[in-house]
Amino acid sequence: MKHAVISNNVIRRLPRYLRKLDELEKQGVSRISSSQLGEILGLTPSQIRQDFSCFGSFGQQGYGYSVTSLKEQISQILGMDRDTRAILVGVGNIGRSLIDKFNFNDWGVTLDAAFDVNPALIGTTFRGVPVKSDKELIPYLNENKVDIAVLTVPREVAKEATQQLLDNGVEAIWNFTNVEIVDPYSKAIVENLHFSDSLLALSYYLSERRDREAEENQ
């Protein structure tokens, strides 16, 4: 029934809260106030309380928040307690490192299978994830629940792969290709991880600082 649309800014802060709460929990901290959390994260207490209040009342007046229960609430808001199934398309370098090192399970996501064109990879298994032929992709999509497709193919085939995924019922794409994904049906959820965008932002802030320093030294 609560149908208010939550702003993207709020959503992007939730994982940060979660990360810090997890850290605090591991350090044995059991209770925290919005002021303390704000201090740690560089946010105002108001903003933190405002953020939480989008989803309910998780604290207690005069006391603050229980670290553990706040963490659980946020996990749930983010959908971590759902049975989310993922596949990975493109077992290149980055795909491989995601299979090997990224703990999908820690975030409530199960990586069920990977797909590639390379015969040397097909039939192998990394960390329990079987690598299947790209020819099996469409049949697989038709026979299994797939919530998220992790897109780690070379940029040349990104468009084609996206088309296949969307045409066969995938609703969400986690995009690691440096290509702007266009969903012709505008109904997919696309989350981009453009490394280059991130590096360019860093580059901007660095050169802006250099300019400022150069001016000051005149």
Partner DNA sequence: TAGATTGTTAATCGATTAACAATC
**96 lies in the binding site for a second copy (CB under 8 A):** yes
Site for DNA in 9-28 (CB under 7 A): 9-10
- Out of 7, 50, 169, 204, the only residue in the binding site for a second copy (CB under 8 A) is 204
Contacts of range 185-193, beta carbons closer than 8 Å, 24 or more positions apart: none
Partner from DNA, a second copy, none contacting 61, C-beta within 5 to 8 A by type: DNA
Site for a second copy in 104-133 (CB under 8 A): 104, 106-109
Instruction: Extract the runs of DSSP E, i.e. beta strands, from 72-186.
Output: 84-89, 109-116, 125-126, 129-133, 148-151, 172-175
**16 lies in the binding site for a second copy (CB under 8 A):** yes
- Out of 25, 33, 126, 194, the only residue in the binding site for DNA (CB under 7 A) is 33
d(CA 168, CA 120) in angstroms, rounded, equals: 26
Alpha helices in the chain (DSSP H): 8-26, 34-41, 45-53, 67-77, 93-101, 137-143, 158-167, 195-216
- The strand pairing partners of 192, in sequence order, are 175
Query: Do residues 4 and 54 touch, judged by C-beta distance below 8 A?
Result: yes
**186 lies in the binding site for DNA (CB under 7 A):** no
- Supply 72's token pair: 């659980």
SS3 182: coil
Partner from DNA, a second copy, none contacting 77, C-beta within 5 to 8 A by type: a second copy
> What is each CA distance from 42 to 14, 34, 39, 78, 79, in whole angstroms?
14, 11, 5, 22, 26
> Which string of x and - marks every residue 22-61 that binds a second copy (by CB under 8 A)?
-x--------------------------------------
Q: What is the DSSP letter of 192?
A: E
Site for DNA in 51-80 (CB under 7 A): 52-53, 57-65
CB of 81 to a second copy, least distance (A): 9
What are the residues binding DNA (CB under 7 A)?
7, 9-10, 33-35, 43-47, 49-50, 52-53, 57-65
- Binding footprint of a second copy on the chain (CB under 8 A): 1, 3, 6, 11-12, 14-16, 18-20, 23, 77-80, 82, 84, 92-94, 96-98, 100-102, 104, 106-109, 147-148, 171-172, 174, 178, 180, 189, 191, 193-210, 212, 215
